[in-house]
Amino acid sequence: MDSLAVAVGNGAPIVRMENVNKVFRSANREIIALRDITLEISRGEFICILGPSGCGKSTLLNAIAGFSLPSSGKLIANDQEVTAPGPDRAMVFQEYALFPWMSVAENIAFGLEIKNLSKMVIRSRVDALLEKFQLTDFRDRFPKDLSGGMRQRVAIARSLALDSPMLLMDEPFGALDALTRSSMQDELLRIWMEFKKTIIFVTHSIQESIVLADRVVVMTYRPGTIKKIVPVNILHPRDISSPWFISLQQELTDMVMEEQERSQKAESDIA
């Protein structure tokens, strides 16, 4: 991959969270998923949210997306309080979430058609994205005919078609093999630099977070809080065999393993 500069956030934050809490309640149980999350994310930043299972990573992303609103606290995105999902926050899921009865081109065009854009505009935008993601030859194929990596490229292209300033990604490469995952990371970095989107990316992978992020937000086990925000002030591409990479990976591993041990202890206490 060619050398890429680190994107620098500018202006007012695109996301601002102040003392955000999320509590799930049932008839006889209360689970505090998030506690006192305070975080600002600048426009154009690439943020990775890292932590063990059960730390609230996806819950936090879903709150920003507007799918599951905070129980208390303030959550602002694009200068507006988040009260529902919106076209300014595009979501990419691990499961691809493509419509199996639609072709590649139809999946990418779906959001544009809902916006009632003209057929000419839709065709032009879809064609450009098909070319950008090297999917032109597959425009009439269905998701079942594609590899996992290609399905995820379609899902990302569909999100980019809406031209949302923010891309929310919930472990989008988690189901891919190692080589495809590495290729998709490179492709995502190119997209980030070219389209200048703000990306908030949930991952279990410590190595992936260092490869991608401007800052890594490490979360604690439930209740999920911010354990530490770690800046990664190195130009892309990042050499995973370099001493600085290995040192940072060990630092993050120590933090995550500490929370993983807390998770295992909590589960054993319940058992």
Q: How many folded domains does the chain comprise?
A: 2
**What is the pLDDT confidence band of residue 94, given thresholds at 50, 70 and 90?**
confident
Query: Quick check: 14 and 78 in contact, CB under 8 A?
Result: yes
Query: Quick check: 186 and 34 in contact, CB under 8 A?
Result: no
**Same domain, yes or no: 74 and 192:** yes
Least-confidence region, from 58-67, 92-101, 154-163, 164-173: 92-101
**Same domain, yes or no: 257 and 181:** yes
Distance CA 161, CA 185 (A): 19
Q: Enter the pTM of the model.
A: 0.90
**Same domain, yes or no: 146 and 198:** no
**What is the pLDDT confidence band of residue 97, given thresholds at 50, 70 and 90?**
confident
**Domain end among 108, 141, 163:** 163
**Sign of the four-CA dihedral 98, 104, 106, 111:** positive
**Same domain, yes or no: 157 and 181:** no
Whether residue 23 is predicted with pLDDT greater than 50 in this model: the reply is yes
Which letter does DSSP use for residue 148 in this model? H
pLDDT of residue 6: 40
Least-confidence region, from 43-47, 71-75, 147-151: 147-151
| Strand 166-170 relative to strand 89-93, pairing | parallel
> Can the peptide bond before residue 223 be classed as cis, meaning omega within 30 degrees of 0?
yes
User: Domain holding 25: CATH number?
Assistant: 3.40.50.300
**Residue 93, in any domain of the structure:** no
Whether residue 96 is predicted with pLDDT greater than 70 in this model: the reply is no
**What is the pLDDT confidence band of residue 242, given thresholds at 50, 70 and 90?**
very high
Which token pair is 1? 């991959």
**Same domain, yes or no: 186 and 144:** no
Mean pLDDT of the 199-204 span:
96
**Same domain, yes or no: 78 and 195:** yes
Domain span at residue 47 reads: 1-88+173-271
Distance CA 271, CA 266 (A): 9
Whether residue 8 is predicted with pLDDT greater than 50 in this model: the reply is no
Where do runs of H (alpha helix) occur along 167-229?
178-195, 206-212
Is residue 182 classed as helix, strand or coil in its secondary structure?
A: helix
Which token pair is 126? 């879809």
Whether residue 80 is predicted with pLDDT greater than 90 in this model: the reply is yes
pLDDT in tens, 145-197: 999 889 988 999 998 998 899 999 999 988 888 998 999 899 999 999 998 99
Phi, psi angle pair for 261, to nearest 5°: -65, -35
Which token pair is 148? 């996992």
- For residue 100, give Cα distances in angstroms to 85, 97, 123, 146, 186: 23, 9, 20, 11, 27
**Same domain, yes or no: 83 and 185:** yes
Query: Quick check: 217 and 39 in contact, CB under 8 A?
Result: yes
Whether residue 246 is predicted with pLDDT greater than 60 in this model: the reply is yes
